[in-house]
């Protein structure tokens, strides 16, 4: 019997055929036979039971008939929209257009009176839920005949299928290949010849399992597996888009490495990345983890609307969560209901709402050693302060007197003003007015500009202007400036004024007589990181620099790490008050000139958030007390917290001359405060940002307001705790989440076997490719969760299986029957990822620097790549000297717009979007890279020299040494013959008179390396030819 679904398909097919045969006009269409199936397939997802876009329900007679004029298709919206007639967008939005035949049927149906008989009963039968949307249940292990072959449950599922297909599994791979496979899989590095020897010699029954444990415990395990996660996390070291500035996110990369090495449970791993900042007493690591969401690209080209690109970043985050964690395509629902999966557009925006309430800033992060140092500084400061207090039992009285005086000192009256920003003066930066009257600088950050701010004020007299620099969570390290340290600088403060109600009056310059600030640093030359290629002597220093008429001097507030990211203020007294009975138009110019020459390299020192205020007090001066102290003083003495009292004391002590030695000691301590690094993170906003469903995904067309929520076809949201990003994170990794565990074990499988159990690893939804072993996928997912989301445990299970340990040699029949190895009747064999291609060469040559973590490095690359017209703007690529050249490829600095050539050519993604399944191409450009790229040549030379220096004097010894380092196995007789004959010929070649072998064999022919006794440069060159051949073999860059 046909299922209802098949019936309707058959009906449609028949109708289309009829239409093709020109039978259409001869009989009027039947609603249930001809029209309803079209509505069902193409329209119900937006105009059906669940959603009624535009109020239209095509599954209900009354609603549908209200949108047409029976007998007149030309006056019927339903027909006009599907036909694409008129100015409105053609229906269905986002789906395949109806065929001409279908449109014709609808036309004829309406013209014939739009008859609508009630539906036959069958179409009410609910559709079966797609397998991946039902939580996995542990399946029973299937029975197999060849039980001896089975090592663990994985093998039962694989063998059951093989036996059903009448295919026998392959035998176990030779020990040397097996260890190379295992090492490449678990650490991304080939085994050393010694490791191979030890394994081959080990005859104990658990010899292999011992190797598994050794490699799982290796710190390189985290490096290998971090890379797969970073693909999905679209990790890169730059912003993307036109400016593509370097950004600081390597702390996140290190977090991922450490998480794998620590074997952080996957549910924890995911929830920290989604909401680590919201966890109770969040650690630095947990905050850094939220860098996952911040890996979106940022457009800071001139003239952008920051909100538009914040929204683009939001879509990117949604996509990354969908592909990388849920394993469900959710992107489609950005613009309309999902066409295939039961995801509604509103549900998309409800998930969106969870992610939409964050500031986008950067925090300072410190290594464990630096963290120790910081706590030491804080502890020592406290100790010294306690000693001062012990020595001076009356300190409280003294402080009270000082406080009273500070509170008594008259404060000028300030009127905060909200200036208008002149568009042309911003240099492309956006100044966004905040509720408190301050301006927040976002978007492109020019390195030099003078912003023009105009205030129309009713004040009759303005004698002083105050400029407050304020913190903001969206600024680097909280600001108050926009430099990567969160600092800013003011080169010149000037102003003009005119009467408010006199359009003819010309603005007059106003002289500033005096300026004060709460921070006045000593005059110091500008940090070279802001170099502008000029020969001018550029200085930073006290507030006087802002009114000295010199563009190359600036008032700065960089009091050093630990103390620079606090609010500051300056007050400017006018030489003559601006006095106009009817108020004034006052224009303030803030010249910000202390940046460098290259805005694409983080060289700005712009003010990040600031606020202006006016006063009639001509003698007003900047309050010398730091904002935090002033705020603490405002609280009644007995109501202050110990911290507030300590804050006041910390400032008060500096005013007491007798304590100057202690003050100096503390000051010296703080000079030691570590610089740390910076990391993009999320932090939650306190005033909740509203989220709207966006019509067609356009942020300029907000629709209805939505709140955080999850799709109804998946598991429900946990009910314990507030409905926020943390709840969403918990939901993703809840035990009843149908796709999360399946999606991740499938990706692990993909890394081992080259293809997932579900081939479309990014999408397990209804359009995904069917799983090759559905029960195995479910079994692994349940096992994963039951064992506490233990990533190493599930990998241990995979690599210990007989399935994994099979020989990868394919018989002719097997190759023909199963070219993609979907049946798993043999071991995996495929080219390793680009990073590992490079790491293998580095490792075999002995050059590899095994340091783990830290800032990304710049190995050799052609300089022109980073200069126009290849790069949009000039980029800094200071080629690493010494061993940093030879760090693992994981640490290579990744500019999104200019990918590192070797990695790009070997299919590494560039971080423009989440990638959970890499292409694996095989191209001539790859051949040119491994043959001729300087780094590969360096590895070939190093390997040859190492061989000549260490392997013994016989050519056969040398060949074996080299061969084993590259391929982890012994050469066969015929292989040895080929290569020994090559080395003989090349020795001849390089011995030709007039030929300098070092030209090829040395990185720097002027300074060739030292060779062992009796080794000649000709030998070095000849053996470099051989090592280059070995490093270029298919087998070398293949896991087999």
- The residues in 853-892 that bind another protein, with binding defined as CB under 8 A, are 862, 864, 868-873
Figure out which of the listed residues 281, 686, 719, 919 binds another protein, where binding follows CB under 8 A.
919
Which residue's CB is nearer to another protein, number 152 or number 425?
Answer: 425
Segment 494-553, which members bind another protein (CB under 8 A)?
none
For residue 365, which phi and psi values (nearest 5 degrees)?
A: -125, 150
Segment 731-760, which members bind another protein (CB under 8 A)?
760
Residue 143 zone, left/alpha/beta (φ > 0; ψ -120 to 50; rest): beta
| Residue span binding another protein (CB under 8 A) among the ranges 574-582, 638-646, 894-902, 943-951 | 894-902
DSSP symbol at 42? H
Q: Cα separation of 766 and 676, whole Å?
A: 47
Figure out which of the listed residues 910, 945, 947, 1019 binds another protein, where binding follows CB under 8 A.
910
812 binds another protein (CB under 8 A): yes
809 binds another protein (CB under 8 A): yes
Q: Are 169 and 151 in contact (CB under 8 A)?
A: no
Which residue's CB is nearer to another protein, number 783 or number 1040?
Answer: 1040
Which residue's CB is nearer to another protein, number 171 or number 302?
Answer: 302
Which residue's CB is nearer to another protein, number 309 or number 673?
Answer: 309
Helix, strand, coil fractions of the chain, as percent rounded to 5 = 45, 15, 45
Figure out which of the listed residues 37, 738, 765, 853 binds another protein, where binding follows CB under 8 A.
765
Provide the sign of the torsion angle of the four alpha carbons 631, 635, 637, 643, taken in this order.
Answer: negative
| Residue span binding another protein (CB under 8 A) among the ranges 618-626, 677-685, 879-887, 901-909 | 901-909
Segment 223-242, which members bind another protein (CB under 8 A)?
240-242
Q: Among candidates 404, 587, 609, which has minimal Cα distance to 505?
A: 587
- Least separation in angstroms between CB 149 and another protein: 22
Integer distance in angstroms from the first to the last C-alpha of the chain? Answer: 48
937 binds another protein (CB under 8 A): yes
Figure out which of the listed residues 131, 315, 589, 713 binds another protein, where binding follows CB under 8 A.
315
Close Cβ partners of 81 (under 8 Å, ≥ 6 residues apart): 88, 90, 91
Provide the sign of the torsion angle of the four alpha carbons 91, 89, 709, 134, taken in this order.
Answer: positive
Figure out which of the listed residues 147, 407, 863, 928 binds another protein, where binding follows CB under 8 A.
928
Q: Cα separation of 301 and 466, whole Å?
A: 31
The alpha helices in 846-914, defined as continuous H runs, are 901-905
762 binds another protein (CB under 8 A): yes
Q: Which two tokens stand for residue 627?
A: 């904002």
Which residue's CB is nearer to another protein, number 187 or number 598?
Answer: 598
Segment 272-311, which members bind another protein (CB under 8 A)?
297, 299, 301-305
**Window 1010-1029: contact mask with another protein (x via CB under 8 A):** -----------x---xx-xx
DSSP symbol at 727? H
Close Cβ partners of 716 (under 8 Å, ≥ 6 residues apart): 710
329 binds another protein (CB under 8 A): yes
State the residue for tokens 């590992």: 836
Figure out which of the listed residues 331, 580, 734, 795 binds another protein, where binding follows CB under 8 A.
331
Strand partners, 527: none
Which residue's CB is nearer to another protein, number 207 or number 809?
Answer: 809
Figure out which of the listed residues 829, 885, 887, 965 binds another protein, where binding follows CB under 8 A.
829
| Residue span binding another protein (CB under 8 A) among the ranges 59-67, 215-223, 948-956, 998-1006 | 998-1006
Q: Is residue 963 within a helix (H) or strand (E), and if so which, with residue range?
A: helix 955-967
Which residue's CB is nearer to another protein, number 840 or number 937?
Answer: 937
Q: Are 191 and 177 in contact (CB under 8 A)?
A: no
Segment 374-433, which members bind another protein (CB under 8 A)?
423-424, 428
Close Cβ partners of 105 (under 8 Å, ≥ 6 residues apart): 15, 19, 24, 29, 34, 35, 38
Figure out which of the listed residues 108, 155, 237, 244 binds another protein, where binding follows CB under 8 A.
244
Which residue's CB is nearer to another protein, number 137 or number 816?
Answer: 816
Q: Cα separation of 341 and 325, whole Å?
A: 17
Q: Cα separation of 326 and 815, whole Å?
A: 34
Which residue's CB is nearer to another protein, number 389 or number 904?
Answer: 904
924 binds another protein (CB under 8 A): yes
Please compute, for residue 767, the number of CA atoms within 13 A of its CA located in the half-sphere on the CB side. Answer: 11
- Least separation in angstroms between CB 108 and another protein: 24
Q: Among candidates 383, 329, 368, which has minimal Cα distance to 767?
A: 329
Which residue's CB is nearer to another protein, number 396 or number 921?
Answer: 921
- Least separation in angstroms between CB 809 and another protein: 5
Strand partners, 588: 453, 495
- Least separation in angstroms between CB 624 and another protein: 40
901 binds another protein (CB under 8 A): yes
Segment 572-591, which members bind another protein (CB under 8 A)?
none
820 binds another protein (CB under 8 A): yes
The alpha helices in 367-437, defined as continuous H runs, are 368-391, 395-408
Q: Which two tokens stand for residue 697?
A: 């995904």
Which residue's CB is nearer to another protein, number 356 or number 768?
Answer: 768
Gyration radius (Cα) of the chain, Å: 35
For residue 499, which phi and psi values (nearest 5 degrees)?
A: -65, 145
Q: Cα separation of 987 and 1019, whole Å?
A: 6
Q: Among candidates 617, 112, 187, which has minimal Cα distance to 412?
A: 617
| Residue span binding another protein (CB under 8 A) among the ranges 256-264, 431-439, 507-515, 895-903 | 895-903
Residue 150 zone, left/alpha/beta (φ > 0; ψ -120 to 50; rest): beta
- Least separation in angstroms between CB 838 and another protein: 13
Which residue's CB is nearer to another protein, number 263 or number 769?
Answer: 769
Segment 31-90, which members bind another protein (CB under 8 A)?
none
**Window 138-167: contact mask with another protein (x via CB under 8 A):** ------------------------------
Q: Which two tokens stand for residue 430?
A: 């956006």
Please count the residues of this chain forming the interface with another protein, following the rule CB under 8 A: 107
Which residue's CB is nearer to another protein, number 291 or number 306?
Answer: 306
Q: Among candidates 642, 670, 632, 649, which has minimal Cα distance to 379?
A: 670
Which residue's CB is nearer to another protein, number 657 or number 869?
Answer: 869
Helix (H, G, I), strand (E, B) or coil at 880: coil
986 binds another protein (CB under 8 A): yes
For residue 88, which phi and psi values (nearest 5 degrees)?
A: -80, 160
Cβ of 928: how many Cβ atoms within 10 Å? 11
Figure out which of the listed residues 418, 975, 1011, 1015 binds another protein, where binding follows CB under 8 A.
975
- Least separation in angstroms between CB 125 and another protein: 24
Q: Which two tokens stand for residue 97?
A: 């257009």
Which residue's CB is nearer to another protein, number 237 or number 244?
Answer: 244
Strand partners, 432: 440
Q: Are 907 and 921 in contact (CB under 8 A)?
A: yes
Which residue's CB is nearer to another protein, number 102 or number 553?
Answer: 102
831 binds another protein (CB under 8 A): yes
Cβ of 905: how many Cβ atoms within 10 Å? 21
- Least separation in angstroms between CB 755 and another protein: 11
896 binds another protein (CB under 8 A): yes
Which residue's CB is nearer to another protein, number 445 or number 782?
Answer: 445
Q: Which two tokens stand for residue 690?
A: 């509203």
Which residue's CB is nearer to another protein, number 641 or number 811?
Answer: 811
931 binds another protein (CB under 8 A): yes
| Residue span binding another protein (CB under 8 A) among the ranges 154-162, 588-596, 661-669, 994-1002 | 994-1002
């Amino acid at each position: 019997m046909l299922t209802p679904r098949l019936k309707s398909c058959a009906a449609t097919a028949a109708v289309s055929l009829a239409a093709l045969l020109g039978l259409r006009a001869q009989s009027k269409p039947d609603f249930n036979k001809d029209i309803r199936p079209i509505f069902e397939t193409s329209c119900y997802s937006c105009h059906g039971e669940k959603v009624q876009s535009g109020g239209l329900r095509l599954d209900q007679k009354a609603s549908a008939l209200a949108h047409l004029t029976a007998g007149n298709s030309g006056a019927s919206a339903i027909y006009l929209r599907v036909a694409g007639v008129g100015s409105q967008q053609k229906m269905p939005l986002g789906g395949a257009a109806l065929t001409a035949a279908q449109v014709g049927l609808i036309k004829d149906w309406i013209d014939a009176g739009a008859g609508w008989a009630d539906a036959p009963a069958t179409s009410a039968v609910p559709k079966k839920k797609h397998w991946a949307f039902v939580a996995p249940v542990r399946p029973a292990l299937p029975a197999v005949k060849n039980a001896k072959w089975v090592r663990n449950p994985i093998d039962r599922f694989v063998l059951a299928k093989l036996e059903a297909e009448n295919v026998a599994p392959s035998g176990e791979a030779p020990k040397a290949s097996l260890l190379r496979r295992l090492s490449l899989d678990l650490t991304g590095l080939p085994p050393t010849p010694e490791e191979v020897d030890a394994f081959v010699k080990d005859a104990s029954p658990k010899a292999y399992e011992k190797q598994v444990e050794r490699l799982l415990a290796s710190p390189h395990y985290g490096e290998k597996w971090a890379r797969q996660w970073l693909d999905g996390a679209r990790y890169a070291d730059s912003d993307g888009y036109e400016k593509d500035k370097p950004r600081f996110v390597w702390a996140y990369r290190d977090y991922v490495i450490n998480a794998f090495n620590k074997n952080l449970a996957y549910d924890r791993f995911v929830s920290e990345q989604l909401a680590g900042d919201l966890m109770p007493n969040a650690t630095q690591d947990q905050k850094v983890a939220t860098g996952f969401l911040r890996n979106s690209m940022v457009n800071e080209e001139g003239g952008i609307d920051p909100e538009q690109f914040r929204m683009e970043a939001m879509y990117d985050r949604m996509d990354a969560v969908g592909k990388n964690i849920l394993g469900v395509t959710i992107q489609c629902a950005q613009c309309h209901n999902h066409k295939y999966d039961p995801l509604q557009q509103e549900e998309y925006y409800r998930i969106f709402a969870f992610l939409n309430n964050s500031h986008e800033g950067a925090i300072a992060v410190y290594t464990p050693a630096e963290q120790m140092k910081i706590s030491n500084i804080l502890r020592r400061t406290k100790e010294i302060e306690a000693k001062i207090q012990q020595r001076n039992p009356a300190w409280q009285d003294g402080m009270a007197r000082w406080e009273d005086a500070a509170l008594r000192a008259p404060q000028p009256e300030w009127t905060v003003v909200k200036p208008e920003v002149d568009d042309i003066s911003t240099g492309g930066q956006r100044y966004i007015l905040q509720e408190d009257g301050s301006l927040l600088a976002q978007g492109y950050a020019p390195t030099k500009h003078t912003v023009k701010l105009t205030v129309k004020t009713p004040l009759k007299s303005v004698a002083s202007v105050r400029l407050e620099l304020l913190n903001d969570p969206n600024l680097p390290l909280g600001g108050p400036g926009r430099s990567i340290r969160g600092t800013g600088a003011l080169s010149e403060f000037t102003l003009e004024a005119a009467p408010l109600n006199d359009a003819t009056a010309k603005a007059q310059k106003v002289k500033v007589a005096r300026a004060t600030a709460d921070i006045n640093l000593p005059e110091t030359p500008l940090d070279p990181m802001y170099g502008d290629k000029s020969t001018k002597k550029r200085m930073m220093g006290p507030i006087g620099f802002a009114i000295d008429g010199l563009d190359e001097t600036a008032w700065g507030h960089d009091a050093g790490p630990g103390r620079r990211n606090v609010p500051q203020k300056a007050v400017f007294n006018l030489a003559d008050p601006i006095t106009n009975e009817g108020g004034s138009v006052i224009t303030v110019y803030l010249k910000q000139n202390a940046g460098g020459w290259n805005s694409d390299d983080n060289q700005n020192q712009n003010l990040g958030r600031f606020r202006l205020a006016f006063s009639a007090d001509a003698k007003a001066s900047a309050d010398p007390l730091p904002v935090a102290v002033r705020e603490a003083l405002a609280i009644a003495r007995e109501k202050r917290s110990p911290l507030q009292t300590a804050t006041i004391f910390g400032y008060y002590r500096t005013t007491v001359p007798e304590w100057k030695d202690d003050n100096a000691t503390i000051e010296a301590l703080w000079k030691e405060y570590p610089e740390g690094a910076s990391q993009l993170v999320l932090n939650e906003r306190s005033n909740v940002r509203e989220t709207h469903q966006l019509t067609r995904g356009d942020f300029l067309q907000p629709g209805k307001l939505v709140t955080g929520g999850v799709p109804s076809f998946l598991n429900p949201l946990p009910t314990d705790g507030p409905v926020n990003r943390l709840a969403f994170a918990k939901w993703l990794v809840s035990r009843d989440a149908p796709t999360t565990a399946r999606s991740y074990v499938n990706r692990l499988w993909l890394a081992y076997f080259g293809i997932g159990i579900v081939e479309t690893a990014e999408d397990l939804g209804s359009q995904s490719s069917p799983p090759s072993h559905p029960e195995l996928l479910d079994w692994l997912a349940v096992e994963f969760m039951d064992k506490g989301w233990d990533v190493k445990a599930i990998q241990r299970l995979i690599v210990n299986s007989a399935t994994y340990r099979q020989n990868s040699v394919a018989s002719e029949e097997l190759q023909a029957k199963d070219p993609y190895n979907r049946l798993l009747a043999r071991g995996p064999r495929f080219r390793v990822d680009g990073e590992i291609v490079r790491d293998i060469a580095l490792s075999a040559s002995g050059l590899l620097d095994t340091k783990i973590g830290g800032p990304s490095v710049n190995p050799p690359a052609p300089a022109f790549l980073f200069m126009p017209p290849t790069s949009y703007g000039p980029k800094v690529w200071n080629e690493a000297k010494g061993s940093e050249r030879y760090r693992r490829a994981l640490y290579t600095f990744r500019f999104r717009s200019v990918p590192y050539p070797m990695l790009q050519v070997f299919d590494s993604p560039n971080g423009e979007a989440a990638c959970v399944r890499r292409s694996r191409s095989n191209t001539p450009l790859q051949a040119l890279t491994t043959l001729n790229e300087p780094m590969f040549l360096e590895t070939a030379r190093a390997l040859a020299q190492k061989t000549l220096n260490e392997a013994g004097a016989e050519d056969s010894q040398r060949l074996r040494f080299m061969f084993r380092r590259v391929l982890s196995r012994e050469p066969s007789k015929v292989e040895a013959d080929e290569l020994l004959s090559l080395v003989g010929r090349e020795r001849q070649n390089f011995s030709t008179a007039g030929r300098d072998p070092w030209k090829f064999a040395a990185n720097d022919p002027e300074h060739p390396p030292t060779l062992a006794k009796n080794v000649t440069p000709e030998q070095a060159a000849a053996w470099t030819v051989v090592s280059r051949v070995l490093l270029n073999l298919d087998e070398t860059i293949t896991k087999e």
